[in-house]
């Protein structure tokens, strides 16, 4: 995990310079009240990264967002909308994504979301062997803290999985397929960055991604 967080700054800098190949992208966050962000991947209205490189293949097609992380020299690949306006004032919310595993990694098969607030980074991770983890990483002093680690009881990686984070007053609950993985508390309530990530060698297709304001 420490190797991953050290790579995040580089990955963010690289991806921040990328323009989506979909010329019809409006780069405008689609908001359907009471959502801060509502994505059904029918088109690329939010400016998600779409590209094919030696590191990954990212494509919105047929109502899905396909993420293929393939460069073994990187532990993870990450992506996000180019417009970050949905993060402004986002404190209490429910983030949910419905996703489906297409191909497992020869190593660890993981999907997750991470948030950055100043020097703090919070990683919410689903391992497709049925393990959930939440980490806090402080970039200022390079320390890592495990906030949650839980093995799921009824996880099935051959179905469509629901990945859900509920955040309220710096307290979170993490849910997979309506099973509560656990709860905890974070040290920040405002965000500069949010990204989705997948482990190297993992193929995923996202059906939807939403952030509901609470």
Q: What are phi and psi of 67, to 5 degrees?
A: -120, 115
CB atoms closer than 10 angstroms to residue 112:
22
Residue 36 has pLDDT above 70, yes or no: yes
Tokens 């093995």 correspond to what residue? 151
Domain ranges of the chain: 2-213
**What's the whole-number mean pLDDT along residues 47-64?**
94
Per-residue pLDDT, 108: 87
Instruction: Evaluate if residue 44 carries a pLDDT over 60.
Output: yes
Query: Can you give the pLDDT at residue 189?
Result: 85
Question: What pLDDT is attached to residue 28?
Answer: 47
8 A C-beta contact, residue 30 and residue 37: yes
CATH assignment of 2-213, given 3.30.70.1560, 1.10.150.120, 2.60.120.560, 3.20.20.140?
2.60.120.560
Concatenate the DSSP letters of all residues of 120-144 into one string: EEEEEEEETTTEEEEEEEETTTTEE
pLDDT average, residue stretch 103-116 = 93
User: With bands split at pLDDT 50, 70 and 90, how would you rate the model's confidence at 7?
Assistant: very low
Preceding amide of 90 cis, omega within 30:
no
Spell out where 104-188 has E strands.
110-117, 120-127, 131-138, 143-151, 160-168, 171-176, 179-185
Helix (H) or strand (E) holding 213: strand 203-213
**H-run or E-run covering 2:** helix 2-16
Residue-wise pLDDT tens digits, 120-173: 999 999 999 999 999 999 999 999 999 999 999 999 999 999 999 999 999 999
Q: Is 205 exposed, middle or buried (0-12, 13-18, 19+ CB in 10 A)?
A: buried
Q: How far apart are the two ends of the chain, measured CA to CA in Å? A: 31
């Amino acid at each position: 995990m420490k190797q991953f967080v050290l790579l995040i700054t580089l990955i963010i800098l690289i991806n921040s310079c990328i323009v989506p190949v979909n010329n019809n992208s409006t780069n405008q966050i689609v908001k359907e009240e009471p959502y801060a962000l509502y994505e059904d991947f029918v088109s690329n209205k939010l400016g998600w990264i779409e590209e094919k490189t030696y590191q990954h293949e990212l494509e919105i097609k047929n109502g899905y967002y396909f993420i293929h992380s393939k460069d073994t020299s990187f532990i993870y690949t990450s992506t996000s909308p180019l417009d970050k306006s949905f993060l402004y004032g986002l404190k209490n919310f429910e983030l949910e994504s419905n996703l489906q595993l297409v191909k497992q990694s020869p190593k660890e098969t993981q999907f997750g979301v991470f948030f950055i607030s100043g020097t703090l980074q919070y990683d919410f991770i689903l391992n497709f062997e049925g393990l959930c983890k939440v980490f806090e990483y402080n970039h200022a002093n390079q320390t890592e803290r495990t906030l949650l680690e839980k093995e799921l009881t009824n996880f099935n990686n051959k179905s469509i999985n629901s990945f859900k984070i509920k955040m309220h007053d710096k307290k979170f609950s993490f849910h997979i397929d309506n099973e509560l993985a656990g709860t905890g508390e974070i040290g920040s309530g405002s965000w500069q960055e949010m990204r989705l990530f997948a482990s190297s060698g993992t193929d995923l297709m996202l059906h939807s991604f939403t952030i509901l304001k609470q």
